[in-house]
Amino acid sequence: MKLCYQNIQIIDLVNDWHKQDKIIAFIPTMGGLHQGHLSLIDIAKQKADKVIVSIFVNPAQFDKNEDLDRYPRSLNADLVELEENVDSVFIPNVKQIYPNGISKYVDVGMIGRILCGKTRPYFFNGMIQVVEILFKIVRPNVAIFGQKDYQQLLVIKQMVKNLSLDIYIESGEIIREKSGLAMSTRNQYLSENDAKIAANLYRILTYVKHEVLQNKKIDVVKKMAEFDLKQYFKLDYLEVLDANTLKQITDNTCQIIILSAVFLGSVRLIDNIIFLKRNNYV
Active-site residue list? 37
Amino acid type, 80: V
Q: What is the DSSP pairing of strand 255-264 with strand 234-242?
A: antiparallel
Distance CA 120, CA 197 (A): 24
Binding residues for beta-alanine: 61
Instruction: Compute φ and ψ for 21, nearest 5 degrees.
Output: 60, 35
Q: Is 104 helix (H, G, I), strand (E, B) or coil?
A: coil
Q: What does the angle CA 260 – CA 258 – CA 44 come to, to the nearest 5 degrees?
A: 90
| Helices marked H in the chain | 7-19, 35-47, 75-82, 94-97, 116-119, 121-138, 150-162, 192-198, 200-213, 218-229
Q: What does the angle CA 133 – CA 55 – CA 184 come to, to the nearest 5 degrees?
A: 110
Binding residues for ATP: 30-37, 146-149, 175, 183-186
In contact, 26 and 130? CB cutoff 8 Å: no
Instruction: Compute φ and ψ for 181, nearest 5 degrees.
Output: -60, 130
For residue 1, the tally of other CB atoms under 10 A from its CB is: 13
Distance CA 238, CA 257 (A): 11
Residue among 257, 237, 262, 260 at smallest CA distance from 247: 257
Radius of gyration of the chain (CA): 19
Distant-in-sequence, close-in-space partners of 20: CB < 8 Å, separation ≥ 6: none
Binding residues: 30-37, 61, 146-149, 152, 175, 183-186
Binding residues for (R)-pantoate: 61, 152
